[in-house]
């Protein structure tokens, strides 16, 4: 069975095709700058051990044209991986916001689409793009089952003490202002891998997703009980371009004393802050080079970044009332040896001790990097949100 996973952004689209049940990735690709003259597709497929890359540029005015071009590549006679759109049994869509309505993967019906529409105001940058791609995929693959997998779903198990804000009751009851949390598909995937590795279904885990966006989750027995992002993806950790936690008084101050508009402040906190704001780049690899060259701003940025993660480790150890493992994942978490070292420094009191040598030895797949005397396992688990979506689609009854 072929399951096509689609992860749409406002001007980009990532896709991956899996052959189930053996979970074999057949091909993967990325469409970027949709709607611009220099839009391009980069498609990669595997034949045995050989990797074949196809690139196409231009002629991609919208998501519809983009997905059609992807289909043309998938079904190219002789070199394609399918022979017709009907070879795709399921299209799994990553949908960012499922509100309180969706806690599980969901077969897309007109009513589900309508609900996703009502959630546009909660995720104005993401849900409209996800919705567009659902409509496009329905037309492109008319006989496939369309399934939505929500980024917020995994966190729907949080108790009210974790998800409620101390605002007047009506703000929750009428406007649904609460913590939703994101990166749920990634937190779920890596914590399940950790539970299997630990052979402990009731493990107490802290999942640390450090990519462009960054978040943490406290997970007890496979259930998310707290997470660092909030109503939107701005709260919590310092990220590539987002500030993470700040006192909302800063917003009022900037509005009152500098006359900044809501749009300017949104751009400031979402797009100009975080590592980018502190150093001028949001790419941790460049920041790392600058740290090695003794750049003071880059060093400060890494200190702030690691310190914030350490504070959340402390908080989540408390709310979990114990800890079996912390898990590093995503671009920075999987690859940046030094940030893992800074984060794990002086956490002996919590039983977290890093083996410096193991931390520096990169091997593929899950690896444990704690020292022999560490009470808590320290795991590096490569995330795979696309595979997690494919698995959730495959497990849906009737698929």
Q: Does 241 bind ligand ADP (CB under 6 A)?
A: no
Tell the residue number behind the tokens 């707290």, with chain if given.
226
CA distance 367 to 207: 14
Q: Exactly one of 92, 105, 181, 211 binds ligand ADP (CB under 6 A); which one?
A: 211
Token pair of 43, please?
Answer: 């498609």
Contacting range for ligand ADP; rule: CB under 6 A; set: 42-50, 51-59, 104-112, 276-284: 276-284
Interaction of residue 388 with ligand ADP, rule CB under 6 A? no
CA distance 216 to 88: 34
| Shortest Å distance, C-beta 44 to ligand ADP | 16
81: nearest Cα among 40, 41, 27: 27
Q: To 5 degrees, how large is the angle CA 15–CA 134–CA 125?
A: 85
Interaction pattern, residues 279-318, with ligand ADP; x per rule: CB under 6 A: ---xxxx--x------------------------------
Binding mask 103-132 for ligand ADP (x = CB under 6 A): ------------------------------
As measured in angstroms, the least distance from the Cβ of 283 to ligand ADP is 4
Interacting residues of 196 by C-beta distance below 8 A, sequence separation 6+: none
DSSP summary character for residue 221: T
310 among annotated binding-site residues: no
Residues in region 48-67 near ligand ADP by CB under 6 A: none
Contact 328, 381 (CB under 8 A): yes
> Of these, 179, 332, 350, 379, which contacts ligand ADP (CB under 6 A)?
332
How is residue 122 written in tokens? 């909660």
The distance of closest approach from Cβ of residue 357 to ligand ADP in the complex, given in angstroms and rounded to an integer, is: 18
335 near ligand ADP, judged by CB under 6 A: yes
* CA pair distance 278, 17, nearest whole angstrom: 38
- For residue 359, give both structure tokens: 């931390």
- The residues binding ligand ADP (CB under 6 A) are 211-213, 240, 282-285, 288, 330-332, 335-336
């Amino acid at each position: 069975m072929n399951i096509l996973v689609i992860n749409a952004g406002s001007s980009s689209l990532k896709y991956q095709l899996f052959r189930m049940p053996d979970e074999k990735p057949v091909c993967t690709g990325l469409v970027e700058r949709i709607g611009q003259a220099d839009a391009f597709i980069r498609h990669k497929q595997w034949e045995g051990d050989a990797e074949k890359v196809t690139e196409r540029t231009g002629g991609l005015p919208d998501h519809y044209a983009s997905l059609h071009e992807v289909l043309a590549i998938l079904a190219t006679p002789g070199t394609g991986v399918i022979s017709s759109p009907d070879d795709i049994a399921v299209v799994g869509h990553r949908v960012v916001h499922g509100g309180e309505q969706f806690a599980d993967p969901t077969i897309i019906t007109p009513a589900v689409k309508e609900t996703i529409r009502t959630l546009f105001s909660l995720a104005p940058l993401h849900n409209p793009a996800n919705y567009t791609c659902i409509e496009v995929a329905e037309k492109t693959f008319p006989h496939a089952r369309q399934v939505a997998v929500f980024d917020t779903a995994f966190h729907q198990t949080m108790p009210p003490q974790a998800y409620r804000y101390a605002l007047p009751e009506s703000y929750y009851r009428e406007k649904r202002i609460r913590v939703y949390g994101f990166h749920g598909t990634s937190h779920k995937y890596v914590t399940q891998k950790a539970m299997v590795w630990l052979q402990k279904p009731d493990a107490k885990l802290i999942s640390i997703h450090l990519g462009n966006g960054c978040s943490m989750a406290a997970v007890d027995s496979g259930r998310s009980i707290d997470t660092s992002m909030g109503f939107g993806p701005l709260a919590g950790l310092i990220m590539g371009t987002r500030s993470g936690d700040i006192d909302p008084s800063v917003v009022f101050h900037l509005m009152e004393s500098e006359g900044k508009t809501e749009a300017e402040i949104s751009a400031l906190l979402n797009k100009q802050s975080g590592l980018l704001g502190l150093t001028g780049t949001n790419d941790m690899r460049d920041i790392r080079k600058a740290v090695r060259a003794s750049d003071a701003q880059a060093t400060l940025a890494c200190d702030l970044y690691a310190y914030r993660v350490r504070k959340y480790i402390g908080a989540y150890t408390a709310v979990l009332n114990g800890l079996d493992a912390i898990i590093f994942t995503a671009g920075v978490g999987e690859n940046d040896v030094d940030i893992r070292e800074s984060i794990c420094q002086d956490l002996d009191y919590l039983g977290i001790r890093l083996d410096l040598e193991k931390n520096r030895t990169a091997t593929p797949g899950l690896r444990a990097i704690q020292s022999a005397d560490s009470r808590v396992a320290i795991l590096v688990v490569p995330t795979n949100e696309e595979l997690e979506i494919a698995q959730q689609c495959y497990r849906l009854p009737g698929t």
